[in-house]
Amino acid sequence: MIAIDWGTTSFRAYRLDPAGRIVDARSAPAGILSVEGGDFAAVLEQHCADWIAAGETQIVMSGMIGSRQGWLEVPYASCPAGLEEVAAGMRKVAWKRGEAWIAPGVTCRDDAGVPDVIRGEETQILGVLDQLGAGRHTICLPGTHSKWVEVDNGRIARFSTHMTGEAFAVFKGHSILGRMMKDGVTDRNAFADGVRRSADDGGILHHLFGVRSRGLFGELPDSASASYLSGLLIGHEIHSAGTSGRTVHLLCTPQLADVYRHALDVRGLESSTLDSNAVTHGLFRLASRLKK
């Protein structure tokens, strides 16, 4: 089968053997926003032509390909959602060379009734449940929009999204704070200072101004400013997400896992790193539940 993680900016395809092992993989900057005229079938056939010619005609996809801007809008499954519930929400798209399916995202509401959504992460979660076992677990998927997911006995119980990565980008790129920044996030000590600062009184809007005022007073070098800002925002994310004392399982690239592990460590919290190739395993498990 062919497993595809098709997001906003990237397209990642994997050829899996009957046991779900990756036998070939490729990626392209062919995210859904780059697909001209909405001809997703053409992009798929272009990038996977040899696999299809070799007889792979079952395709399972997840990510923003199932959003309003994608191939077909697949309605969200509601929490609690495990393998059964996500598989039940899969939709088949029109594709004449074989069977192509898209996984749904998942939605939940927080205590105040405000909705939240994931799309793509649910499949990664399904791919790591075997590693986690039964019981309750906290999984963090850091990024532009970080997701904190509570799993309870193999199902996604609830989750929250935090705009941490995007907040960093807009404050660095477009606010007065960015004007003084000379380097990227390279200073581990300044990063840790930012994480510690997030635990102080005053709130994030006040802490942000401190990036500038500490710079004005020569207490934060321009070269350390972006690192401090990153630590500050990630520290606030960790504090707000809440871990209930459980180990935080990080599901992301090794680089991001390093950053978050450092922040969690500064806050005295346990962490572990999950296999970041989880999406193929999740797609394989979903494929096994499809009606023949």
Q: Which of residues 239-278 bind a second copy (CB under 8 A)?
A: 239-241
Q: CB 162 → a second copy: shortest distance, Å? A: 4
> What's the one-letter identity of residue 15?
R
x/- letters, 133..162, toward a second copy (CB under 8 A)? ------------xx-------------xxx
Which residue of 210, 266, 278, 283 would you call a contact of a second copy, by CB under 8 A?
A: 210
Cis peptide, bond prior to residue 80, ω within 30 of zero:
yes
55, 94, 96, 174: which one contacts a second copy (CB under 8 A)?
Answer: 174
Using alpha carbons only, give the angle 69, 74, 78 rounded to the nearest 5 degrees.
125
Query: Does 33 participate in binding a second copy (rule CB under 8 A)?
Result: no
CA 214 – CA 119 distance, rounded (Å):
39
Contact 11, 62 (CB under 8 A): no
* Helices and strands in the chain, H and E counts: 11, 14
Does residue 99 belong to the site contacting a second copy (CB under 8 A)? no
Among the residue ranges 40-48, 149-157, 215-223, 278-286, the one whose residues contact a second copy (CB under 8 A): 215-223
Member of 18, 133, 203, 254 binding a second copy (CB under 8 A)? 203
Beta bridge partners of 161: 147
Minimum separation from the CB atom of position 236 to a second copy (A): 6
117 near a second copy, rule: CB under 8 A: yes
Please answer whether residues 168 and 229 qualify as being in contact, where contact means their C-beta atoms are separated by less than 8 angstroms: yes
Is the separation of the CB atoms in 227 and 188 below 8 Å?
yes
Nearest residue to 94 via CA among 36, 41, 32, 35: 41
Q: Which one among 19, 201, 254, 268 touches a second copy, defined by CB under 8 A?
A: 201
Binding-site string for a second copy from residue 48 to residue 77, where x marks contact by CB under 8 A and - marks none: ------------------------------
As given in the structure block, the two tokens for residue 31 are 């995210």
- Of 141, 81, 22, 90, which is closest to residue 286 (Cα–Cα)? 90
Number of residues that bind a second copy (CB under 8 A): 44
Written as six digits, the tokens of 2 are 């062919």
| 78-86, 133-141, 196-204, 270-278 -> range binding a second copy (CB under 8 A) | 196-204
- The residue to which tokens 């929400």 are assigned: 89
Rounded CA-CA distance 250/238 in Å is 12
116 contacts a second copy (rule: CB under 8 A): yes
Q: Does residue 78 interact with a second copy by CB under 8 A?
A: no
Contact with a second copy (CB under 8 A): which of 115, 245, 254, 268? 115
User: Phi and psi (nearest 5°) for 22?
Assistant: -75, 120
The residue ranges that bind a second copy (CB under 8 A) are: 110-112, 114-117, 145-146, 160-164, 166-167, 170-171, 173-176, 197, 200-206, 208-210, 213-214, 216-217, 219, 233, 236-237, 239-241
